[in-house]
Amino acid sequence: MEILDVDLLAFESGSGSARRAVVDGVARSLVTGFVYVEHDLPIELIDEAYTQLEAFFTMPQERKDAYVVPGSNGQTGYTGLLVETAAIADVPDWKEMLNWGAPLGEGHPLRDKYPHRYGPPTLPEDDLPGVRDLLMAFHHCVADLQRRVLRIIAEGLGAHESFFDEMLTDGATLTRAIHYPAMDQAPGEQHVWAGEHADINLITALPRATAAGLQVKSDDGWIDAAPPDGSAIINTGLMLERLSNGMIPSGIHRVVSGDGQQGDRYSVVQFAHPTPWTILSPMASTVTADNPLRYSSIAASDALDKVLWEINLTETARRLDEP
């Protein structure tokens, strides 16, 4: 099993053969659920975002708690330690998070129908002046990167490269900054940074992490995700698995502190979500005699709500009691 590194710009501005090589490389790599993508994200923007987010997570707990948004089910604002729990786990992850997305204006039908997906971003502007504009710029840059990567995936699935564009327009894409405190501070040995899981969305982008820890599940066990410098990690989610009729599996992964690994870990991931009213049905091009129809249809909003309950983020009906 090998995670390949592909050049996004070669797909966008290269020759026909260069484009086909990128599409082929992505398709072969996504058998693992992961691919590395050379990108053109502004490095200075990433640097400053990580600096400010580390400043947020090192603030006193009462200040971080001021950014909790009741009723958001972890979709905006701050989520504390020992809350999110992998769907197959019985103990919560040793991590805390800050979540945000792009708001929609008053009266927009998506905001009216799904208010908990599109509320104003709750960011620590009062404590870190200027951070809102910074983190929204980061969000939009990474969202554009994901749109471009999904164009490669669409072509590999036999669709027009713009296939995902409509469902991404005003989609409920979520950016999540994650702080994994040092494991010697965890309340018990049963906890890990993030238990084994698959993401629910289409694809997830991780431009950078400050330490090792992300591992990918393979037939031969767990392997480290270690992209080259200048490449983002892209992994696939359950929504893309359904849309592709299983041709692209969701990437199973975990985040664990290695033997002897010291200190904290920070990462900022973005989950590319379609609009909540998108009906997730297998694409016609993926249903063949060799790959018969495997999935029924479900609304993206319902698929997400199911997973939010499974991972213990539904505040009014937690799968597991709080510690």
What is the DSSP code string of 136-163?
HHHHHHHHHHHHHHHHHHHHHTTS-TTT
Q: Rounded distance, CA 1 to CA 21, Å?
A: 19
pLDDT for residue 311 = 84
Whole-Å CA distances, 178 to 94, 98, 209, 245 = 10, 7, 10, 31
Domains recognised in the chain with CATH numbers: 5-310 (2.60.120.330)
Mean pLDDT of 187-192: 92
Whole-Å CA distances, 57 to 25, 79, 120, 125, 193 = 37, 11, 21, 14, 15
pTM (2 d.p.): 0.94
- Contacts of residue 263, defined as CB under 8 A and 6 or more positions apart, other chains included, come to 182, 211
pLDDT for residue 317 = 65
What letter would DSSP give residue 184? G
Lowest mean pLDDT among 100-109, 200-209, 243-252, 306-315: 306-315
Is 60 exceeded by the pLDDT of residue 322? Answer: no
For the four alpha carbons of 293, 298, 304 and 308, in that order, the dihedral sign comes to negative
pLDDT for residue 310 = 86
- H or E, element range at 232: strand 231-236
